[in-house]
Amino acid sequence: MILPAFALSLSPLATITRMMRASVLEALQQDYVLTERALGLPKRLILFKYVFKNAFISTLTVIGLYFGWLLSGSVLVETIFDWPGIGLYATTSIISLDFQPIMGVTLIIGVTFMLVNLTVDLLYGLFDPRIRYT
């Protein structure tokens, strides 16, 4: 189970990490961080309460987009590693030309992707109050 999870998550993990790093570096250059440092707030408080919260908004977008990539990648990974799941079920249905399971898997994956994107959009308001009231 470790190898399929590693194969599926390595590329998104690298991209999400790079995105978070770039967002944190950009947030550290903002005026409010300089003001908080001048007020003498501890670095840990500034980083976790203010910088990470503001930097996570753009990273959350990437996480939502990569969820769709992981859904499609699970089909390939489950087929290669012969791991039972919705991806292997879809592949088996496609090979045997069984259209009802193909439509069912497509519908489940599509609805799941839409729900994840809705959740990501709702989480924007949690991290940025300006988005909450617009």
The pLDDT of 58-86, averaged and rounded, is 87
Tokens of residue 45, six digits: 């408080």
Residue 74 belongs to domain spanning = 2-132
Cβ count within 10 A of residue 3: 11
The pLDDT of 43-64, averaged and rounded, is 89
* pLDDT value of position 84: 87
Residue 63 identity (one-letter amino acid): I
The pLDDT of 102-107, averaged and rounded, is 93
Cβ count within 10 A of residue 107: 10
* pLDDT value of position 134: 61
pLDDT at 72 over 90: no
Number of domains in the chain: 1
State the burial class of residue 79 (Cβ atoms within 10 Å of its Cβ: 0-12, 13-18, 19+).
middle
The pLDDT of 102-120, averaged and rounded, is 93
State the burial class of residue 90 (Cβ atoms within 10 Å of its Cβ: 0-12, 13-18, 19+).
buried
pLDDT, averaged across the chain: 89
Instruction: Read off the pLDDT of residues 11-31 as tens digits, 9 standing for 90 and up.
Output: 899 999 999 999 999 999 999
* pLDDT value of position 132: 73
95 falls in which pLDDT band (50, 70, 90)? very high
